[in-house]
Chain A
Amino acid sequence: MARSVDLLIKQMRRKGVDTIFGIPGGANMPFYDALYDADINSYLMRHEQQAAHAAEGYARIKNRPGICSGTSGPGATNLITGLVDASMDSIPVLAITGQVVRAFMGTDAFQEADIVGLTLPHIKYAVTVKDSRRLVQEFVNAYTVAMTGRPGPTLLDIPRDVMQEEIEEDDVDVMPEPLFNQRPREPDVHSIMEAAKAISQAEKPVILSGGGVLFSGATQEVLELAEFIGAPIVTTTPGKSSVPETHPLVLGVVGMHGRLEADLAIMESDLVICVGTRLSDRAIGPAQDFERGRKIIHIDIDSSEIGKNVKPTISLNGDAKLVLRELIDYIKHIMAKRPESPLIRRFKEVGEAYDEFMMSQEGNSRMTSWKVISLLNNILPPDTIVTTGVGQHQMWTQLFWKSRTPSSFISSCGLGTMGFGLPAAFGAKAAAPDRTVVNLDGDGSFLMTCQTLACIADYNLPIITIIFDNRTLGMVRQWQDMFYQKRFKDVDYTDKTDLVKLSEAFGVEAVRVDSYEELTTVVKRAVRSNTAITIDVPIGREEMVFPMVPPGKWLSEVKLPPGLELHDKVSHIRTA
């Protein structure tokens, strides 16, 4: 006989769980008691939301579920933002929450909350385990389904007395029940043939690579297809590191704050091969504009995404890697390898003109966001993992940071959760201690989850945090400037909060830099010595992120940085 929670931990180890992010409390104390003797790293976070984001960061690096835990009531409800974030970005996360004892459930007991009910709209699977003999099976089900098909968050809610109940010990590798382990559909051969034919007939095909490419591990297939058909590759924000941005065919992120060359490639295309993306309005603008004048092939593991936002010409439901493999094999039978499209050179010239213009610009502060990020491309190792918060700094990172390794760009793309960057970096560093992890943050985002610095200090996880410190909620300010007649309301901060002292108070070295040279020296030293540091970079409050496609508008209505003229370069391309 053994406590059910001890058998749970044993099964977790069996499934490869080696790390948990969480906080103990009254209802999940038996879980932590069982962890005491387990060969599992448990990180004591300072807030459960951060535990969930850390689990997301971990999952993105390891490509398997990240585990987070909280006690009942507030411990569980604090996890919700992270779980919804994981749902929006299809990240496998398993939350294990304590619950009040069964006899007290439904009585509004102390720290009782219906966490299953609260998370249901946004979770792949959630269950309160009321039978201790089902606990291990439910864990295996929830763990498996988190990464089966389209990944997503799951939740296991366990009443304290269920964890403590003694049950028969059965030391076997438990398999998921069939409903929790459904294999993705095999690619439809007829649709593969149709898609291949459409690609062979297209004159200006473009590949749009989404986050699904990362989860599927289909980077090589995307590159192989692009190289064979001579097509440019653009990415969504979640798909940013799905292909190396130094590859000659990769044009960068598309969409509202996308690279100009990427937006132009979509506008000019006659066929877009969309891989592992839900085709959100942020990426492609209004669906009717995207659909007009071009064929669309949509490859996605989630059949409900096909036709949801955009009506494709050809749909290919299945795992991106499998579908692309079959597609490439078939294409090679029906067409010869094509040379690189000459349009790509033209698109790149537009991007280079944008870069050149931005590098010639001086902001109101001594340093500008775009120059800082461009600089980092040259001084950080190629396999650096970059996380971000949400806001202008995130968009600057999207525009100027060149991802070179799959899954090396981790951001809150769907939910847009400010405060995501630092705890996600913590989780990523826990998953990949040998890689450099840099959190590029805004001061607004940073202040939402800065207690994670305490964890960084406690566990000696050397994360480099660079704060683009403009003392304002920059993206909100930009929208108030552009769409609300400059009526700036509740966006600006004072200078009273000292971010350097704040970081030092948590036990993490910090420095404020005033020049690019100083920044370079500090970052290089932190990388070389593998130490944690917080770098405060003063940035002008007036900075605005361009290009920007106004919400609800087609990509052709992009607003360029004031002063940038591109008529000579884009006159031959269909733009507004």
Chain B
Amino acid sequence: MTRFLIYVQLSNNPDAIAKMMLLVKQGQLSLEGATIASTDSGARLSAILTLIGTQQKAEWLTKKLLNYPFFHQAWLLRIQ
């Protein structure tokens, strides 16, 4: 198991946050921490998720997020 940071830019609405968390669940990743703040004058949110899981699942999540128009960008960073 590895620790990852995923940085996500998402639309500013609760459904987008819910969808993001549902995808974390679908990817069978453990959530260690989440920081969400508004950006772009409130039009978007930026989220930093600290996740534990396999590299394969973390990569899957990063790509999968971009299938949905709730999310503008997603980056993955392996930290441990």
- Interface residue count on the A side (C-beta < 8 Å): 19
Residue contact B22 to A120, C-beta cutoff 8 Å: yes
Of chain A, the residue at the smallest CB distance from B11 is A179
CB pair A302–B56 under 8 Å, yes or no, is no
Residues of chain B with a CB closer than 8 A to A124's CB: 67-69
In the complex, which of the residues B26, B64, B66, B69 contacts A121, with contact meaning CB atoms closer than 8 Å?
Answer: B26
Whether A272 sits at the interface, judged by CB under 8 Å, is no
Q: Are A304 and B69 in contact (CB under 8 A)?
A: no
Does B60 touch A at the CB level, under 8 Å? yes
Q: Which residues of B contact A117 (CB under 8 A)?
A: 15, 18
Residue of B nearest to A176 (CB): B69
Evaluate contact between B69 and A126: CB separation under 8 angstroms.
Answer: no
Cβ distance A484 to chain B, nearest Cβ, rounded Å = 28
Asked if A126 and B15 sit within 8 Å, CB to CB, the answer is yes
Q: Say yes or no: B56 contacts A179, CB within 8 Å.
A: no
For the complex, what is the distance from the CA of A76 to the CA of B68, rounded to whole Å? 21
Instruction: Please determine whether B67 and A150 come into contact, CB atoms closer than 8 angstroms.
Output: yes
Q: Indicate with 1 or 0, residue by residue over B2-30, a CB within 8 angstroms of chain A CB atoms.
A: 00000000010001001100100010000
Query: Smallest Cβ distance from B56 to chain A, in angstroms?
Result: 6
Contact present for A179 and B67 (CB under 8 Å):
no
Which of chain B's residues has its CB closest to A126's CB? Answer: B15
B69's contact among A141, A150, A302, A303, by CB below 8 Å, is which? A141
Give min CB distance, B24 to chain A, whole Å.
11
Indicate if A375 sits at the interface (CB-CB under 8 A): no
Choose from A125, A126, A303 the contact partner of B63 (Cβ within 8 Å).
Answer: A303
A127 engages B15 (CB within 8 Å): yes
Task: Encode A98-132 as 1/0 by CB contact (under 8 A) with B.
Answer: 00000000000000000011001100111100000
Binary interface encoding of chain A residues 306-320 relative to chain B, with 1 for a CB under 8 A from any of its CBs, else 0: 011000000000000
Question: Which residues does chain A contribute within 8 Å of B56, judged by CB atoms?
Answer: 307-308
| Closest Cβ–Cβ distance, residue B48 to chain A (whole Å) | 20
The A250-271 residues at the B interface (CB cut-off 8 A) are none
Contacts of B67 in A (CB 8 A): 124, 149-150, 302, 304
A359 to chain B, nearest CB (A): 45
A54 within 8 Å of B (CB atoms): no
Residue of B nearest to A317 (CB): B63
- Among residues of A, the one whose C-beta sits closest to the C-beta of B25 is A121
Chain B residues with CB below 8 A from A125, complex form: 68-70
Check if A428 is an interface residue, CB within 8 A of chain B.
Answer: no
- In the complex, whether A373 has a CB less than 8 A from a CB of chain B is no
Complex formed: what's the CA distance from A295 to B22 in Å? 33
CB-CB contacts below 8 Å: B36-80 with A: 56, 59-60, 63-64, 66-70, 72
Which B residues touch A126, using CB under 8 A? Answer: 15
CB-CB under 8 A from A150, the residues of chain B are 67
How many of chain B's residues touch chain A, expressed as a range?
A: 10 to 19
Residues of B within 8 A of A304 (CB): 60, 63-64, 67
With contacts A116-B15, A120-B15, A307-B56 known, is A145 near B69, CB below 8 A? yes
Identity of the chain A residue whose Cβ is nearest the Cβ of B23 in the assembled complex: A121
In the assembly, what is the distance between CA of A107 and CA of B10, in Å? 28
Question: Given B60, B63, B69, which contacts A179 in the complex, CB threshold below 8 Å?
Answer: B69
CB closest residue in chain A, given B62: A304
Q: Does A290 contact B (CB under 8 A)?
A: no
A354 within 8 A of B: no
Least CB separation from B72: chain A residue: A179
Query: How far is it, in angstroms, between the C-alpha of A121 and the C-alpha of B70 when the chains are bound?
Result: 13
CA distance A302 to B64 in the complex (A): 8
A87 to chain B, nearest CB (A): 11
A180 within 8 A of B: yes
Smallest CB–CB gap between B22 and chain A, Å? 5
Q: How far is the CA of A255 from the CA of B18 in the complex (A)?
A: 35
Of chain B, the residue at the smallest CB distance from A180 is B69
Nearest neighbor of A303 in chain B, beta-carbon distance: B63
CA distance A145 to B2 in the complex (A): 34
Give the chain A neighbours of B72 by CB distance below 8 A: 179
Question: How far is the CB of B11 from the nearest CB of chain A, in Å?
Answer: 8
**How far apart sit A145 and B52, CA to CA, in the bound complex (Å)?**
31
Residues of B within 8 A of A307 (CB): 56, 59-60
In this complex, the member of B15, B64, B69 whose beta carbon has the largest number of chain A beta carbons within 10 angstroms is B69
Cβ B60 vs Cβ A120 within 8 A:
no
Q: How far is the CB of B68 from chain A (nearest CB, A)?
A: 6
Task: For chain A, residues 296 to 344, give those with C-beta under 8 angstroms from any C-beta of chain B.
Answer: 302-304, 307-308
Q: Within 8 Å CB of A303, what residues of B?
A: 63, 66
Alpha-carbon distance between A303 and B61 when the two chains are bound, in angstroms? 11
Chain A contacts for B26, CB-based, 8 A: 121
Complex interface: chain A residues within 8 A of B68 (CB): 124-125
In the bound assembly, the distance between CA atoms of A180 and B22 in angstroms comes to 20
A482 to B14, CA, bound (A): 47
Residues of B near A141 (CB, < 8 A) are 69
B66, chain A: closest CB distance, angstroms: 8
Q: How far apart are A175's CB and chain B's nearest CB, in angstroms? A: 14
**Closest chain B residue to A121, Cβ basis:** B22
Bound form: Cα–Cα A150–B63 in Å:
13
| 0/1 string, A267-298, CB within 8 A of B gives 1 | 00000000000000000000000000000000
Q: Give the complex CA separation of A390 and B33 in angstroms.
A: 42
Q: Which of A117, A120, A179 has the most CB of B within 10 A?
A: A120
Least distance between A30 CB and chain B CB atoms (Å): 23
Q: Which residues of B contact A308 (CB under 8 A)?
A: 56, 60
Known A-B contacts: A121-B26, A179-B11, A307-B60. Give 14 more (CB < 8 A). A117-B15, A120-B22, A124-B67, A124-B69, A125-B69, A125-B70, A126-B15, A141-B69, A179-B69, A180-B69, A302-B67, A304-B64, A307-B59, A308-B56
11 A-B pairs whose Cβ atoms sit less than 8 Å apart in the complex: A117-B18, A120-B19, A125-B69, A126-B15, A141-B69, A145-B69, A149-B67, A150-B67, A302-B67, A303-B63, A308-B56
Give me the interface of A with B, judged by CB distance under 8 Å. 116-117, 120-121, 124-127, 141, 145, 149-150, 179-180, 302-304, 307-308
